[in-house]
Amino acid sequence: MAEKILMKGNEAIAHAAIRCGCDGYFGYPITPQSEVMETLMNEQPWNSTGMVVLQAESETSSINMLYGGASCGKKVMTSSSSPGISLMCEGLSYLAGAELPCLVANVVRGGPGLGTIQPGQGDYFQSVKGGGHGDYKMIVLAPASAQDMYDFVDLAFELAFKYRNPALILSDGVIGQMMEKVELRPMKPRLTEKEIIERYPWATTGKTPDRKQNVLTSLALDAAVHERLNQTLQNKYRQMEENEVRYETLMCEDADYVIVAYGCMSRICESTVELARKDGIKLGLLRPVTLYPFPTKYIQELTSHTKFMMSVELSAGQMVEDVRLAVNGKIPVGFYGRLGGIVPSPEEVLEAFKEQIKKLN
Amino acid sequence: MKEEIIIAGFGGQGVLSMGKILAYSGIMQGQEVTWMPSYGPEMRGGTANVTVILSDKKISSPILSKFDTAIILNQQSMDKFENSVKPGGLLIYDPNGITRHPHRKDIKVYTIDAVNISVELGESKAYNMVVMGAFLKLKPVVEYENVLKGLKKSIPERHHSLIPMNEKAIKAGMEKLVQI
């Protein structure tokens, strides 16, 4: 069995990037994610795999470096925290519009504005509903452990290239800063230029006489052409919704009530479920692993045997809207959240849950 | 086995690294571990704390409101965490600089004079290992050989010459704690 190493979630992202054959990282430091670039700079992958690690002059710059790298069929990524991701949203819309694969990791802190450096989950809307302009979607993965942080880097790249679409790891200050044991997966080599040309015929790898020029752009001034481009995107999103929904459950089979929580809050709510079961309350937990595509169908199924669902988030109530859309009025939906970087304990969540079910009866 | 620990003190006392060594020792013993720090300005001289959980089973919440053991190294942390020890739990503190000693009667309380012990050893930087020794004496949740392995894993190789000094500090901590 491979050796298990104690590391922060942020460090796990960096090690995973090097080991899954990432070609380039372009970033700008911000708490609580700075260890990503710090670890990459320490590891100096440009000497081992040839991976480029560059500190850009700003987040706007790094996201546009991703546009350039991705256009050439390279596996490129960046990471930041909330205010930095806001700066990247224009670029993300362009990447999505031009159908370019890339990976962005957001280690979320409390907002709005500069907010706080403590953990938050207030970037849910930004991540799954857009953030940038236009009708686009990103594949959004929500890690709940340091091992997830590691494993989701490879998974996110795989999905990004499968759909030619930006993928986002939506983490938070807890998962980024917490140390846990992480198993390093086997090394994957970076693709050679020849392999990139073979696998990604759309990439701008230099025109050869046997093919047409590749043009990667999100601009289409002809309305009919632009509508077709949008339809292509929408078809792709429907495929993602069909094929890429991922979630985990804890004791949902016989549950009367279900908590829906992702990221650090799903870890905390696991303990809440354990506490509730000790009190004889049949509580279960649904942890969406992909926030887009969202486990809508599974939530619909749950409404057939549950009486109440509660979304628990470090926000004023964002994912709860998607839970309500899925539940579609069949059962009551509640919400509990903390703001400002405060992370509730399992006991506090249980107390809030008990208060809300008392009101139901 | 599940041990939920809070270690709290000033930034610079080695609170976070002691937690890291404990967590690595747990890994060496095949345990599940989490290490959740307070992060931010604490690192630069304010109060710092870290929650370490060692368990035979998968760990759910890394954030806790009650602890089996509190290791307290300054007054602010005493004020903040004395009441977070579970009934019957353990509180270990360094009495240096403590003006209000713990008042609870339903927990076990020990002191470790780690400042003076580490100075006597001639290595004030091994302060946190004296404290860790005291903890391990009372709660041998990790075998000693795994603690040494954890120490080696946590300290960069260029500082491995300091390991014997750290071992000495751990042993001194084990011998010199005082029950209150």
Domains defined along chain B, listed by start = 2-179 (3.40.920.10)
Of A31, A180, A347, the CB nearest to B65: A347
CB distance B63–A348 less than 8 Å? no
Token duo for residue A150: 């590691």
pLDDT over 80 at B43, yes or no? no
Tell me, what's the pLDDT at A18?
98
Q: What's the rounded Cα separation, in Å, for the pair A292 and A177?
A: 24
CB distance A270–B153 less than 8 Å? no
Three-state secondary structure string covering A241-267: HHHCCCEEEECCCCCCEEEECCCHHHH
Tell me, what's the pLDDT at B42?
57
Tell me, what's the pLDDT at B19?
97
Encode chain A (361 residues) as per-residue pLDDT tens digits: 578 999 999 999 999 999 999 999 999 999 999 999 999 999 999 999 999 999 999 999 999 999 999 999 999 999 999 999 999 999 999 999 999 999 999 999 999 999 999 999 999 999 999 899 999 999 999 999 999 999 999 999 999 999 999 999 999 999 999 999 999 999 999 999 999 999 999 999 999 999 999 999 999 999 999 999 999 999 999 999 999 999 999 999 999 999 999 999 999 999 999 999 999 999 999 999 999 999 999 999 999 999 999 999 999 999 999 999 999 999 999 999 999 999 999 999 999 999 999 998 7
Q: What's the rounded Cα separation, in Å, for the pair B8 and B48?
A: 6
Phi-psi region of A134 (alpha: psi -120 to 50; beta: other; left: phi over 0): left
pLDDT tens digit sequence for B71-92 = 999 999 999 999 999 999 999 9
Q: What's the rounded Cα separation, in Å, for the pair A330 and A132?
A: 33
Percentages helix, strand, coil for chain A, rounded to the nearest 5?
Answer: 45, 20, 40
CA A305 to chain centroid: 30
Q: Which of B21, B61, B157 to mutate to test the interface with A (most CBs of A within 10 A)?
A: B61
Tell me, what's the pLDDT at A35?
97
Of A122, A46, A123, the residue nearest A88 (C-alpha): A123
Q: What's the rounded Cα separation, in Å, for the pair B35 and B57?
A: 15
Token duo for residue B134: 């005291």
Beta strands in A189-327 (DSSP E): 247-250, 257-260, 283-288, 290-292, 308-313
A266 neighbourhood in chain B, CB within 8 Å:
none
Question: At a CB cut-off of 8 Å and minimum separation 6, what does A283 contact?
Answer: A251, A255, A256, A257, A258, A259, A272, A273, A276, A277, A353
Task: Give the ipTM.
Answer: 0.93
Query: What is the dihedral sign for C-alpha A113, A114, A120, A121?
Result: positive
pLDDT tens digit sequence for B108-139 = 999 999 999 999 999 899 999 999 999 999 99
Q: In 10 A of CB B83, how many CB atoms?
A: 12
CB distance B60–A346 less than 8 Å? yes
| Sheet order of strands, A24-27 included | A52-55, A24-27, A76-80, A102-108, A166-172, A139-141, A290-292
Q: Please say whether the beta carbons of A248 and A284 come within 8 A.
A: no
A296 burial class (0-12, 13-18, 19+ CB within 10 angstroms)?
Answer: middle
Q: What is the pTM of this model?
A: 0.95
Phi-psi region of B40 (alpha: psi -120 to 50; beta: other; left: phi over 0): left
Of B32, B39, B65, the CB nearest to A345: B65
Q: Please say whether the beta carbons of A89 and A229 come within 8 A.
A: no
Phi/psi of residue A231, nearest 5 degrees: -65, -40
CB distance A4–B27 less than 8 Å? yes
